[in-house]
Amino acid sequence: MAMHDEYFVVEYDLPTATRYKFYRQLNRYLENRGMARPSTKSVIITNDADLAYWIYMKAVDVGGKARLYRARLLREWIDDRDSRPATRVAANQSILEVIA
């Protein structure tokens, strides 16, 4: 049985002058939704599409550069008795699609 997990990856680079403004707005956005800040790095991985699009748009709005990806991890059930490395690699494949 195959499982499909979909996540969004946002990578961004912010100008120093607007970085504080961006993080202040991000913290407010997350607090209003009862969410914790996912990372302090310039890459955020989330399964929340609204959050991913918001971060992407806000990073661009403050003059930064941003990329948005949809990532799907395709996993198949693996029999623990099957120790062939090639089987394990084939069963965990990532698909990364550029959205914006």
pLDDT at 87 (0 to 100) = 45
Cα 42 from chain centroid? Answer: 11
Pairwise CA distance, residues 33 & 29, whole Å: 7
Pairwise CA distance, residues 83 & 6, whole Å: 27
| pLDDT per position as a tens digit, 14-65 | 999 999 999 999 989 989 988 877 666 788 888 889 999 999 999 999 999 9
Residue 16 near residue 62 (C-beta atoms within 8 A): no
Q: Is 50 exceeded by the pLDDT of residue 3?
A: no
The side-by-side arrangement of strands in the sheet containing 92-98 is: 43-46, 2-13, 65-76, 92-98
pLDDT at 65 (0 to 100) = 94
Overall pTM > 0.75:
no
In order of their start, the domains of the chain are 2-98 (3.30.70)
